[in-house]
């Protein structure tokens, strides 16, 4: 192997190391070694290693900045798949959402699930202070809502979770409706809200972690599909 080829590989790896940043020095060094090993394996498989052959391999491996971004995504997905931290999972699914449809689904699932969790816990906390405004409401047109009612009989608005059979679902503000609303739970709302909040929290965490584990590729399983086609 000529010095020109060795220098080109070193330069590529230096760019990759810089793109990986200062996060985890040991982890970044491992990634660079992994990529260098892959490049050396490919170039050594060539009958006549030339700078042109190396350039083709490097193009197939990918731009160092893009490759570093891919590795960072896989690393945070790997951590999130083993974590129960909502903040870490939010960061992971947000990064994943930039990569494709499955990431968007996971991020949307998490936002809706944790949004519902927040509504349940907030309702439990606010019920003692606003007993006539916080509850499980039966609104006109058979709409069932959990949250805060504005107290008006006309132009009624409810802030929280609303469902209307068979498929209507609203997380936020229910559109103004006319007519009376009826509270269904009374003082039982507090334990029901806490229970629903816990169930929603655990169910969302379990579902999102399952999506990450099933569809989120792990860093060490990252495949150089383009360069493999050169074999």
In 3D, which of 194, 200, 207, 189 has the Cα closest to residue 145? 189
SS3 163: strand
User: What is the C-alpha separation between 27 and 29, in angstroms, rounded?
Assistant: 5
Decide if pLDDT at 200 tops 50: yes
Q: Which domain covers residue 65, as residue numbers?
A: 3-81+217-228
Residues 86/123, Cβ–Cβ less than 8 Å: no
Residue 195 inside a domain? The answer is: yes
- pLDDT score for 31: 81
Within 81-222, residue ranges assigned H as helices are 86-97, 101-126, 189-215
pLDDT band at 1 (very low <50, low <70, confident <90, very high): low
How many Cα atoms are found within 13 Å in the side-chain-facing hemisphere of 19?
Answer: 19
Q: Residue 125 pLDDT more than 90?
A: yes
Q: Which residue has the higher pLDDT, 226 or 13?
A: 13
- The reply to whether 59 and 120 lie within a common domain is no
Q: Are residues 188 and 144 in the same domain?
A: yes
* Percentage of the chain lying above the pLDDT 70 cut: 87
In the chain, the percentage of residues whose pLDDT exceeds 90 is 20
188 pLDDT exceeds 90? yes
- Asked if residue 128 and residue 60 are part of one domain, the reply reads no
Please state at what angle helix 25-44 crosses helix 3-20, rounded to 10 degrees. Answer: 150
- Number of structural domains, the chain? 2
Quick check: is 176 in a domain? yes
In a shared domain, residues 73 and 142: no
pTM of the model: 0.69
Q: Same structural domain for residues 161 and 224?
A: no
């Amino acid at each position: 192997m000529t010095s020109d080829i060795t220098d080109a590989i070193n330069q590529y790896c230096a760019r990759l190391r810089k793109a990986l940043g200062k996060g985890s020095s040991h982890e970044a060094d491992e990634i660079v070694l992994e990529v260098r090993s892959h490049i050396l394996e490919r170039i050594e498989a060539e009958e006549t290693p030339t700078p042109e052959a190396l350039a083709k391999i490097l193009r197939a491996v990918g731009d160092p900045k893009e490759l570093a971004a891919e590795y960072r995504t896989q690393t945070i997905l790997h951590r999130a798949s083993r974590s129960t931290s909502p903040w870490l999972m939010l960061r992971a699914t947000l990064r994943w959402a930039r990569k494709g449809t499955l990431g968007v689904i996971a991020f949307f699932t998490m936002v809706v699930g944790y949004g519902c969790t927040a509504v349940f816990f907030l309702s439990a906390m606010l019920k003692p202070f606003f007993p006539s405004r916080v509850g499980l409401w039966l609104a006109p047109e058979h709409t069932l809502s959990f949250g805060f009612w504005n107290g008006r009989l006309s132009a009624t608005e409810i802030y929280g979770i609303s469902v209307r059979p068979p498929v209507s679902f609203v997380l936020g503000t229910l559109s103004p409706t006319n007519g009376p609303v009826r509270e269904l739970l009374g003082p039982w709302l507090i334990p029901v809200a806490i229970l629903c909040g816990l169930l929603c929290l655990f169910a969302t965490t379990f579902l999102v972690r399952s999506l990450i584990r099933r569809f989120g590729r792990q860093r060490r399983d990252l495949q150089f599909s383009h360069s493999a086609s050169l074999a």
